[in-house]
Copies of this chain bind each other. A is one copy, B any other.
Amino acid sequence: MDESKKSYHHGDLRKALIQEALKVVEKEGIEAVTMRALGQATGVSRTAAYRHFENKIDLLCAVAEEGFIIIGERYQNIMDQAADDGLASLETLGRGYVAFAMDYPNLFRLMFGSELAGHARTDALRAVVDKSMASFVHTVLQCQEQGTIQQGNPLALTSILWAGMHGLATLLVDGQLQTDEQAHGVPILTTDKVGTTQKNSQKVLDLMVGAILRGLAPTSA
């Protein structure tokens, strides 16, 4: 089982292809992923990938899957700590969602963008998606028990929370939330650049988390 065996058969081409694709997605964008280049980068021929994936979509599904696994691990870590305060966990989960998007913008795009939407997803992909969502649902339930979130269908409430975070993440990743200096003289939000920028997006994130959690709080009256 030598690592450097350059024989006819690659050790684990499937995994190698996914890793390479993952790298390309983040560094050069989803569009830059080509079956041929993937083959070349992993030292095999252009069509070798077809022995492991039905087609390109199938391969991209596997890459997206990897993304959900990463998210899932992050969520697991969050759940492992501070298991007593549900609301705090929920806030951390929400922030973690946006943080993931900022850490892996292109991967995030792949996971939720229109490249895969419409196409039939792999069962494996569906599974990891459900698994990562489970943390949210579980924590919402916990909050309901602790009376920090209103009663009602926990899945619906989770959807609200998810949608809010997802919207913010999406707009941030796509650079659609920008400085509106030209419009009102008030810099508000921007993904690109640095410094104050970072602070601004952080501020909007704070606002968002606060608003959503306040919006889902028990109706006091």
Contact = CB atoms under 8 A, between A and B. Distances in A.
Interface of A: 29-30, 109, 112-115, 117-118, 130, 134, 137, 152-157, 159-160, 162-171, 173-177, 180, 183-184, 186, 188-189, 203-204, 207-208, 210-217
Nearest to A29: B118
B204 A159 contact: yes
Given A156-B189, A156-B203, A166-B171, A114 B109 contact: yes
Contacts of A210: 215
A114 B157 contact: no
Q: How many copies does the complex hold?
A: 2
A136 to B, nearest CB: 12
Contacts of A154: 184
A203 to B, nearest CB: 7
16 contacts: A29-B118, A109-B114, A109-B117, A117-B173, A130-B183, A154-B184, A155-B188, A159-B188, A160-B168, A160-B207, A163-B164, A164-B164, A170-B170, A212-B212, A214-B214, A215-B216
A215 B213 CA distance: 7
B180 A155 contact: yes
A159 B109 contact: no
Contact of A171 (B163, B177, B183, B186): B163
A11 to B, nearest CB: 33
B115 A114 contact: yes
A163 B175 CA distance: 12
Given A153-B186, A155-B186, A166-B170, 7 more contacts: A109-B117, A112-B174, A155-B188, A160-B207, A160-B211, A163-B168, A214-B217
A175 B207 contact: no
